Every structure is written in C-alpha cells, then in structure tokens.
A and B are shown apart, each in its own frame.
Chain A
Amino acid sequence: DTAVSQTPKYLVTQMGNDKSIKCEQNLGHDTMYWYKQDSKKFLKIMFSYNNKELIINETVPNRFSPKSPDKAHLNLHINSLELGDSAVYFCASSSLAGETYEQYFGPGTRLTVT
C-alpha cells in the first residue's frame, strides 16, 4: 500500500556514469516533485510536474532531466554523474486541486558517486 515509491533506494556508481531514479505514486495526485537533500540535510526543490507538465525548474545542472510519462510517474535521469551529485533524492506528490498543499514523500534514494 505504498503511497509514493522510489527505486532504487540505494545507488552507488562511478563518476561519469548515467543513472535513473524512478518514482511512482498511487494517491491519484496531479503534481509530483523531486528534491535533493544534501549532507547537511538541507532540502531543496529541483523540479515539479503538474499533469505531466513542468511547472518548477530550479537552478539545476542540465545533466539532470526529469521525465513524466504519466501523472503517476516522475523519473529523474542524471547524465555524467559528478562527486557533488552524491545526496539523497526524494520524490514527492501532492494535489493542487486539493486544499491543503501537503506533500507526500517517497522513502528517498541515496546516491553515492565514487
């Protein structure tokens, strides 16, 4: 009955590789997000999609590319991984049509770039 799921939960890879993180929500929400949490636990929004359309695109290197095949999925592809990309990446979802704006988070993906 997982509401927001992410795969994989752990990802260890070498510099220069390309990797993807997948996210799925079964809450019927219309908006999905990617956040990056750095080593100091600071959470920063990266992208947001509403009904498959990009609505937030913060200052993120263009090596990061989100893709939303449908409202229930938002994947994050990262090209040419760098050491500084090591972090925990969270997917979240919410309903803009709802009234509370609260976001539901996935379990996070810990990415380690060596």
Chain B
Amino acid sequence: AQTVTQSQPEMSVQEAETVTLSCTYDTSESDYYLFWYKQPPSRQMILVIRQEAYKQQNATENRFSVNFQKAAKSFSLKISDSQLGDAAMYFCASGSARQLTFGSGTQLTVLP
C-alpha cells in the first residue's frame, strides 16, 4: 500500500518570494513516479511537475522545482518568484502503473 503525507494544510507566501511545500511518501513499489498537481478554485486538476524515482536529478519546470530525497522518501515542491496565479490547493501524489495515491493537500495563498 502507498501512503502520501502532506503535513502543511495551509501555507502562504508573499508575491515574488519563494515557498516550499513538503511531502513524504511510503511505497513498496520499486518502479514509481512522484507528482505535484495543482487545483485552483476552478477545481481543474493540473499537473505541475513529475519526478521519476529512478532519476537522481531533481525535476524542474520553469519556476517549479522539486527536492527529491529517495532514501528519506521526501518530495518537496519549491515555487520561485510566486505569482498570484499560483494560489491553489497543491497535491502530492505517488504512483505506479496502476494507481496514484494522493496526499491531503496544501492550500497555498499568495499575498500581494
């Protein structure tokens, strides 16, 4: 069974600043991926970034990057130069071929 834990129910960041959202996971799978999804008020689930577990290099997508610590089973998301449009619920997810398991989410507020 997979579990994903997001220990920060809410976070806030000043516009243009950097914020890091935490995520830890547990899985018995040897081949798995990790994801961060964003859910703005429109409720659409949007993929932000993905990390292949077999890759040591941390994934980066523009202002979004991850800090993947495989031994610690940690997968945090860093958002640089935060923008008002980044305000959303962020979900961490761990997945194998058959299933994604989601964390409980972190509500991010961006302050102007």
Complex contacts, B32 vs chain A, CB 8 Å: 101
- Tell whether, in the assembled complex, residue B105 and residue A96 are in contact, meaning their CB atoms are under 8 Å apart: no
- Tell whether, in the assembled complex, residue A101 and residue B96 are in contact, meaning their CB atoms are under 8 Å apart: yes
CA distance A41 to B101 in the complex (A): 14
Complex contacts, A103 vs chain B, CB 8 Å: 95, 100
Complex contacts, A55 vs chain B, CB 8 Å: 98
CA distance A110 to B91 in the complex (A): 19
Interface string of A93-110 (1 = CB under 8 A from B): 000100011111101101
Contact of A48 among B43, B44, B99, B104 (CB under 8 A): B99
Binding site for B on A (CB under 8 A): 40-45, 48, 50, 55-56, 88, 90, 92, 96, 100-105, 107-108, 110
24 A-B pairs whose Cβ atoms sit less than 8 Å apart in the complex:
A40-B104, A41-B89, A42-B102, A48-B99, A50-B98, A55-B98, A56-B98, A88-B43, A100-B50, A101-B33, A101-B95, A101-B100, A102-B33, A102-B35, A102-B47, A102-B50, A102-B95, A103-B95, A103-B100, A104-B47, A105-B37, A105-B44, A107-B43, A107-B44
Known: A100-B50, A105-B45, A107-B43. 18 other contacts (CB 8 A): A40-B104, A41-B39, A42-B102, A42-B104, A45-B100, A45-B101, A56-B99, A96-B98, A100-B33, A101-B32, A102-B35, A102-B47, A102-B95, A103-B95, A105-B37, A107-B42, A108-B45, A110-B43
